[in-house]
Chains A and B, each alone.
Chain A
Amino acid sequence: KAGVTQTPRYLIKTRGQQVTLSCSPISGHRSVSWYQQTPGQGLQFLFEYFSETQRNKGNFPGRFSGRQFSNSRSEMNVSTLELGDSALYLCASSSSYTEAFFGQGTRLTVV
C-alpha cells in the first residue's frame, strides 16, 4: 500500500508570509502527527490529530496550526514566517499505539 505522502517536498518563502503543508497518511490510519526537525534539535513535536480532533499539542507558538479532514488527510499552517522556521517538517501516520510511518518531509526555507 502507498506510504505517507507529503507535499510539497521543497518550499522557499519570505519572512512574514504564510505556508500550508499537506500530508496524506497511509490508508486506514487515523492518527497524524507533525514534527519540526532542525540540525542538532532532533524531532520537535508540533501536534497530533486523530479523527479530525487535535489530541496532543507541543510547545510551539500559535502561528503553527493544523487540521485534519474526514479522509484523515492533514494540513499544517505556519503564519507570519520567521527565519527560524526554516526546517524539515515531517508528518507521521499510525493506526494504533504502535510504530509511526513517516513521510519524506517538506524542506521549508524562509529567506
Chain B
Amino acid sequence: SQKIEQNSEALNIQEGKTATLTCNYTNYSPAYLQWYRQDPGRGPVFLLLIRENEKEKRKERLKVTFDTTLKQSLFHITASQPADSATYLCALAMDSNYQLIWGAGTKLIIKP
C-alpha cells in the first residue's frame, strides 16, 4: 500500500544544534516533495519544495534533501532556535494529479 511516514514521536533538540527530520514514502513516484511548518491551531506554512531531479535545496538555515532511490527526504534546521519549535509536515505531489499526499508530521521541540 502507499504510505508516507514521518517520525511520530516528538524530536527534542538542544538550541544551537542541527535538527534533522525524516520523511519516508513507499509505492509513490512523486514529481516533487514539499515541507511545511504548522503551529498549534494554525494552518501549515510552506517552507521548501524540492523536485525529483534535485538532490538538495537550501533556504537560509533550512536544507532539504531528496533521495528517490531510498524514497526519503531529510529536512535539516541548522543553528536551531526555540522559535523553530513546531510540527513539520512533508507532502508529496505526483505529476498526474495535483492532490498533495501528506505525512502526519513530526513535532520538533528546541530546548534553550
User: Which residue numbers of A lie inside 8 Å of B, CB to CB?
Assistant: 4, 31, 33, 35, 40-43, 45, 48, 50, 55-56, 88, 90, 92, 94, 97-105, 107
Contacts and interface: CB of A to CB of B under 8 A. Distances in A.
Contact of A43 (B45, B89, B93): B89
B10 interface: no
Given A41-B104, A42-B105, A100-B46, A48 B98 contact: yes
Interface in B34-52: 34, 41-46, 49
Contact of B49 (A31, A33, A99): A99
Nearest to A42: B104
A43 B90 CA distance: 11
Interface of B: 31-32, 34, 41-46, 49, 89, 91, 93, 97-105
A97 to B, nearest CB: 6
Given A41-B104, A42-B103, A56 B98 contact: yes
A31 B98 contact: yes
Given A42-B89, A42-B105, A43-B89, A100 B100 contact: yes
Contacts, number: 55
Nearest to A6: B43
Contacts of B44: 43, 90, 100, 102
B50 to A, nearest CB: 12
- Majority secondary structure of chain A interface residues (helix, strand, loop or mixed): strand
Contact of A42 (B46, B98, B102): B102
5 contacts: A33-B99, A33-B100, A42-B103, A48-B98, A90-B44
**What 8 A-B pairs come out closest when comparing CB atoms?**
A102-B43, A42-B104, A99-B46, A43-B102, A56-B99, A90-B43, A102-B44, A105-B43
B42 A105 contact: yes
User: Could you say which of B31, B46, B100 has the most chain A C-beta atoms within 10 Å of its C-beta?
Assistant: B100
Nearest to A40: B104
